[in-house]
Amino acid sequence: MTSRRLYLDRAPGEERGVVWLDGRPERLLIARIDDPPDPPAGARYAARVIRIDRRLAGAFLDLGADGQALLALTGAAKTVVEGAAVEVEITAQARRGKLALARLIGAAEPAPRRLDALIPLIDRLHAFAPEARVIEGAEARDAADEAEAEVLAIEHALPQGGSLAIERTRALTAVDVDLGARAGEARRVARQVNLAAIAQTARLLRLKGLGGLVVIDLVGEGHDGAALTQAARAAFAPEEPGVTLGPVSRLGTFQLALPRRVRPVAERFCDETGALSAASLALRLLRDLEREGRSDGGARLVGRCAPAVAAAAVTYAPALAARLGPRFEIRPESAFPLSRLEVTSL
């Protein structure tokens, strides 16, 4: 029986909600005070059709203040015309370079707008375990830091030995399973590692917010396809409906397709190059300042960082000042690389 725990880290300028499954992070939810409009899956809108592209079999929608979405021209949606007012539900959150996706519900009043209320992060967190108590404070900060580290990592250790690496490309997500130094009878060990890798891949893809085509490169040979498929069906059950499992190929790869519903979490933290953004680093610096400030209640604090990080911190610094008062300074250092952060007490 699985057991989920919920954590909410109310950090300066940012909330991080974590779902914990059997001792490991399973989902990470992020809300920043300067978040741009980002319609989540399940949100409903009165939208206006602004353009139809028959080559894409899609209609571009104006959602009002929350931007645009793409409606697939299938079923009843084939009859929509430019300028029409339609009610839609978001089925997949926007990701870098891609609009949010929507499905048609019916006709609507003409003014583009969101029809349902924004859901606070704590309520979205509760949806994963309604009976669980939400844990806050230092324990939640540690849980959120660990979840964030796993989101950004490529290599992940398996519980009983071996490892897997998860890398996202434009076309698919590749998962490489490795025995490492695991000892024992080769076929038995390979089976155990592959089964553990499938379970951990499901958890990690949920944590990272990844969907679409997934290819798992298994270890060993002579795989028990039925056992692996059964394990994958159980591990990926939370993603239903919409999971498609392929057979284990003669080359030892296991393919599956998962629905895309959320924005990849790494896109919240990283810029287009894959490096941590100035905003993410600024929020880390503020957490470090808060931690130091709470351990030394009367000290004057100085946070040193690259100029771009200092500029990004301007947006979030008032949230820290509300907690610590004006006893900290963020000092830009032109010689610092973007990733370098330092906190000192005076």
CATH code of 300's domain: 3.40.1260.20
Instruction: Tell me which residue of 69, 48, 67, 47 sits closest to 58, measured CA to CA.
Output: 69
How many domains does one find in the chain?
Answer: 4
Q: Indicate if 83 and 200 belong to the same structural domain.
A: no
Q: Report the CATH number at residue 98.
A: 2.40.50.140
% of the chain beyond a pLDDT of 90 = 86
The answer, yes or no, to whether residue 197 has pLDDT greater than 70, is: yes
CB burial readout 10-46, b (16+ within 10 A) else e: bbbbbbbbbbbbeeebbbbbbebeeeeeebbbebbbb
Q: Indicate if 177 and 207 belong to the same structural domain.
A: yes
Segment holding 58, helix H or strand E: strand 58-62
How high is the pLDDT of residue 1?
47
How high is the pLDDT of residue 147?
98
How high is the pLDDT of residue 93?
94
Q: How far apart are CA 155 and CA 157, in angstroms?
A: 7
Judge if the upstream peptide bond of residue 332 is cis by omega within 30 degrees of 0: no
How high is the pLDDT of residue 287?
97
CA pseudo-torsion sign 25, 213, 157, 218 = positive
Q: How far apart are CA 85 and CA 77, in angstroms?
A: 12
Query: Could you give the count of Cα atoms lying within 13 Å of 152 in the half-sphere of its Cβ?
Result: 15
Q: In what order do the strands lie in the sheet with 253-258?
A: 155-157, 163-168, 173-178, 212-217, 253-258, 244-248
The torsion of the CA quartet 220, 222, 225, 228, rounded to 10 degrees, works out to -30
- For residue 26, the SS3 value is strand
Q: How far apart are CA 77 and CA 133, in angstroms?
A: 42
Q: Indicate if 158 and 174 belong to the same structural domain.
A: yes
pTM given for the model: 0.91
Give the pairing of strands 253-258 and 244-248. antiparallel
Q: Indicate if 195 and 277 belong to the same structural domain.
A: no
Question: Which one of 231, 258, 285 terminates a domain?
Answer: 258
The answer, yes or no, to whether residue 308 has pLDDT greater than 80, is: yes
**80 lies in a domain?**
yes
**63 lies in a domain?**
yes
Residue position matching structure tokens 């309520």: 123
- Tell me which residue range forms the domain holding 33: 4-37+120-145
Q: Indicate if 95 and 226 belong to the same structural domain.
A: no
Q: Indicate if 140 and 240 belong to the same structural domain.
A: no
Q: What is the pLDDT of residues 50-104, one digit of tens each?
A: 999 989 899 999 999 999 999 999 999 999 999 999 999 999 999 988 999 999 9
Q: Is the pLDDT higher at 297 or at 205?
A: 205
Banded pLDDT at 183 (limits 50, 70, 90): low
Q: Indicate if 313 and 228 belong to the same structural domain.
A: no
Side chain identity at residue 266, one-letter code? A
Q: Indicate if 158 and 129 belong to the same structural domain.
A: no
- For residue 284, the SS3 value is helix
**264 lies in a domain?**
no
Q: Report the CATH number at residue 132.
A: 3.30.420
Q: Indicate if 80 and 15 belong to the same structural domain.
A: no
- For residue 8, the SS3 value is strand
The answer, yes or no, to whether residue 274 has pLDDT greater than 70, is: yes
Q: Indicate if 161 and 236 belong to the same structural domain.
A: yes
Contacts 24+ apart (CB under 8 A), 250-256: 252/217, 252/218, 252/219, 252/220, 252/221, 252/223, 253/215, 253/216, 253/217, 253/218, 254/198, 254/215, 254/216, 254/218, 254/228, 255/213, 255/214, 255/215, 255/216, 256/213, 256/214, 256/216, 256/232
Q: What is the pLDDT of residues 227-253, one digit of tens each?
A: 999 999 999 999 999 999 999 999 999
DSSP track, 286-335: HHHHHHHHHHSTT--EEEEE-HHHHHHHHHHHHHHHHHH-S-EEEEE-TT
**263 lies in a domain?**
no
**189 lies in a domain?**
yes
Q: How far apart are CA 84 and CA 105, in angstroms?
A: 13
Q: Is the pLDDT higher at 111 or at 126?
A: 126
How high is the pLDDT of residue 203?
97
Q: What is the pLDDT of residues 8-37, one digit of tens each?
A: 999 999 999 999 998 999 999 999 999 988
- The token pair at 166 is 């998860």
Q: Indicate if 190 and 215 belong to the same structural domain.
A: yes
How high is the pLDDT of residue 86?
96
Instruction: Tell me which residue of 65, 67, 60, 97 sits closest to 264, measured CA to CA.
Output: 97
The answer, yes or no, to whether residue 2 has pLDDT greater than 70, is: no
